[in-house]
Structure 1
Amino acid sequence: MTTVYDFSATRIEGNEQSLADFRDQVLLVVNTASQSPYTPQYSGLQKLYKTYRKQGFSVLGFPCDQFGHQEPGDENEIANFCSTIYHVTFPMFAKIDVNGSRTLPLFNWLKREQGGLLGGRIKWSFTKFLVGRDGSVIARYAPVHTPDKLADKVEAALAVPAPSTRETSD
């Protein structure tokens, strides 16, 4: 079975990172943009990250310029914007495509696991995928579903023990 841990992506700083580095964590994978009507969600995403990271939660941000040219900057500009305007400290990755022939393989998998209203396509920036500690997709949330409305979902996912810490019986 494929899990999120089978993928890797380029960090915004330019180094490749295996998502296996996030094993046993609950993840919120989000396609982001700096000039979207949803851009203020960076604040809510950062708040979720800060609140739950010590319990094994991380937000993974993936900038995308496929929706109304709302992410025109390069990686340095995006990183600077996120850190200075929204004080983002969660992992950010290099700019990617989430639809079409150049879609990052991770997003092809996420869309297959949890299709949306447009079938497999992502309709806009700040679409969110909640991934459990076992690496499988729990749910997909539309851009209008703000991070503050996800706290209970994150808490529920965090309550499920990591596969490596579950008790087994003989």
Structure 2
Amino acid sequence: MAILPIRIWGDPVLHAPAEPVAEITDEIRTLVADMYETMDAAPGVGLAAPQVGVGLRIYTYTYEDDEGRPWRGEIINPELWMTPTVPGDPDEDSESEGCLSFPGEAFPLRRSDRVVVTGTDIEGAPVRIEVDGWRARIMQHEFDHLDGVIYIDRISDGDWKTAQKISKKRGWGRPGVSWTPGVDDVDA
């Protein structure tokens, strides 16, 4: 297993729809194992294959359920269904999120409160996840990556301008910029 470099906003792989996984091969198994190691080292609660430069429809996740039990998994070729998003402005305290591909920052973003995700796991077994609240936010965030969308693409105009200033100051927003957990000094 290896910790992979995480691409930063502006890299083309992050802004293009990912391709479906046609077959679960040893290369896919290695990629998923590396994604877990990278996600844990970052640390993050989710990581999509495009974030490590691979344009495939795969993401890993980790969270605790309401009873404090850890849940961890991967979803290959996911499909996402969500309840309608409640209209209004997001709450900065309870609806802010960050991203390993825009490290060190968090912006408020309204998301659906309940989702269902289906797909397969690394063994090819069917996966169905039905979650709400923060866990639903994780699923939507990672699914967005597979469609070439980063959460800052969805934030308010004012926050978008702030994100652009941050990106320019840090030299982001262009191809080839990445950071490696445990190697590079970024505040993810």
More helix by share: 1
TM-score per shorter chain, which class? under 0.3
Q: Which has the higher strand share?
A: 2
Scaled by the length of structure 2, what TM-score is found?
0.24
Q: Normalising to structure 1: TM-score of the pair?
A: 0.25
